[in-house]
Amino acid sequence: MYGWIWRHLPGNAWVKALISLVLILAVVYVLFQYVFPWAEPLLPFNDVTVDNQ
Amino acid sequence: MAATTDREEHTDAAPEAPEPRRRGPGPIAMAVSVFGELLITAGLVLGLFVVYSLWWTNVLADRKADQEGDKVRDNWATSESSGPGALDTKDGIGFLHVPAMNKDEILIKKGTSTELLNDGVAGYYTDPVKATLPTSGKDGNFSLAAHRDGHGAKFHDIHKLKKGDPIVFETKDKWYVYKVYAVLPETSKYNVKVLDAIPKESGKKKAGKYITLTTCTPVFTSRYRYVVWGELERVEKVDGERTVPEELR
């Protein structure tokens, strides 16, 4: 999978490495900004109140 | 790994070789390799989620709570002339100081919804048992909740609170000094009785002015609730310099 992506990136090794870094940062950004905030309330790690439900 | 290198060498040697003639790894080897990479990816994502929960949410929440706290203090400073009276519950009703637990002040707002607590504040209960605000002067229980981990983690060190430790609630013109008198290290999340006006589990039978802190326990999970009770000891007027009560010095 990652090998496939690497082979399909344009340019020489340096350019590929740079593009990979940008891609990784983009993925981390999307995870932190959208995916994790969405997933967090669905996981039972952070309920602090007592209630009837 | 080896499979990838093989293929790359092959591609380098014969760049014009058409796709079908290329002898790559077999389909099973391919499937195993992709599966393995997916597992590694899942591991990395889970690791990032831990970083997000325990670090990034704190950064965001502390930033937000600082802004909101400054806003409340600004309001207090500018509305000095209007005198005591109207309680602005939207921006926050005051600050909680618990020296044994947290060096910083904790902003208190109305409600215990997830969105509200995620901003790094403590919230007072409106549901299922309504908290009695000390500013009302009535007997009752001032019940609060805040996060143990992530989102400011304002009650992270709640286990450091011992009997006799002070909990100070600061409003615009008064300091309410409470003393911890009982701790319940583990209880069910359905145990709403801990919020009662007279919390019997703490050993109290008569009406009084109590404070209740609730959060989740053990750390990093929310299987149970941790509860700390305090009782009002005295009320001090805020003077011109906002001199803090001796418990906070």
- Give residues 78 to 137 of B whose Cβ lies within 8 Å of A: 112, 114, 117, 125, 127-128
Quote the pLDDT of residue B236: 94
Q: At what angle do helices B27-51 and B2-13 cross, to 10 degrees?
A: 120
pLDDT band, residue B81 (cuts 50/70/90): low
- Residues of A within 8 A of B48 (CB-CB) are 28, 31-32, 36
pLDDT of B167 strictly over 90: yes
Quote the pLDDT of residue A46: 74
**With an 8 Å Cβ cutoff, are A51 and B127 in contact?**
yes
Q: Does B214 touch chain A (CB under 8 A)?
A: yes
Residue of A3, A49, A51 with shortest CB distance to B4: A3
pLDDT band, residue A45 (cuts 50/70/90): confident
Catalytic residue, from B97, B151, B156, B216: name it: B216
pLDDT averaged over every residue in chain B: 87
Quote the pLDDT of residue A44: 76
Instruction: Report pTM.
Output: 0.81
Q: What is the pLDDT of residues B25-52, one digit of tens each?
A: 789 999 999 999 999 999 999 999 999 9
**With an 8 Å Cβ cutoff, are B128 and A51 in contact?**
yes
pLDDT of B80 strictly over 80: no
pLDDT of A47 strictly over 80: no
**With an 8 Å Cβ cutoff, are A48 and B117 in contact?**
yes
Instruction: Report phi then psi at B170, rounded to 5.
Output: -105, 125
B90 or B234: which carries more pLDDT confidence? B234
pLDDT of B13 strictly over 50: no
Average pLDDT, integer, range B206-215: 95
Catalytic residue, from B97, B147, B151, B156: name it: B147
Query: Structural domain boundaries of chain B?
Result: 52-248
Q: Rounded to an integer, what distance in angstroms lies between the CA atom of residue B188 and that of residue B174?
A: 34
- The contacts found for B25-33 with CB under 8 angstroms, 24 or more apart, are B29/B3, B30/B3, B33/A1, B33/B3, B33/B4
Average pLDDT, integer, range B55-62: 94
What would the two tokens of residue B19 be? 């796709």
**With an 8 Å Cβ cutoff, are B34 and A1 in contact?**
yes
pLDDT of A49 strictly over 70: yes
pLDDT band, residue B176 (cuts 50/70/90): very high
Pick the residue from chain A with its C-alpha nearest to B149. Answer: A46
**With an 8 Å Cβ cutoff, are B192 and A50 in contact?**
yes
pLDDT of B160 strictly over 80: yes
pLDDT of A50 strictly over 70: yes
Residue given tokens 């941790």 in the structure block = B226
Instruction: Report phi then psi at B118, rounded to 5.
Output: -65, -15
Residue in B12, B22, B53, B110 to test binding to A, most A beta-carbons within 10 Å: B53
**B101, B81 in Cβ contact below 8 A?**
no
pLDDT band, residue B20 (cuts 50/70/90): low
Pick the residue from chain A with its C-alpha nearest to B12. Answer: A7
**With an 8 Å Cβ cutoff, are B45 and A31 in contact?**
yes
Quote the pLDDT of residue B3: 46
Task: Answer yes or no: B216 catalytic.
Answer: yes
**B62, B56 in Cβ contact below 8 A?**
no
pLDDT of B1 strictly over 50: no
**With an 8 Å Cβ cutoff, are B216 and A46 in contact?**
yes
CATH of B52-248, one of 3.20.20.70, 2.40.128.110, 3.40.50.720, 2.40.260.10: 2.40.260.10
Query: Structural domain boundaries of chain A?
Result: 11-39
- Residues of A within 8 A of B110 (CB-CB) are none
Quote the pLDDT of residue B85: 52
Tell me the β-bridge partners of B179: B166, B231
- Residues of B within 8 A of A28 (CB-CB) are 48
pLDDT band, residue B86 (cuts 50/70/90): low
pLDDT of B145 strictly over 50: yes
Residue in A6, A12, A50, A51 to test binding to B, most B beta-carbons within 10 Å: A50
B87 or B241: which carries more pLDDT confidence? B241
pLDDT band, residue B57 (cuts 50/70/90): very high
pLDDT band, residue B198 (cuts 50/70/90): very high
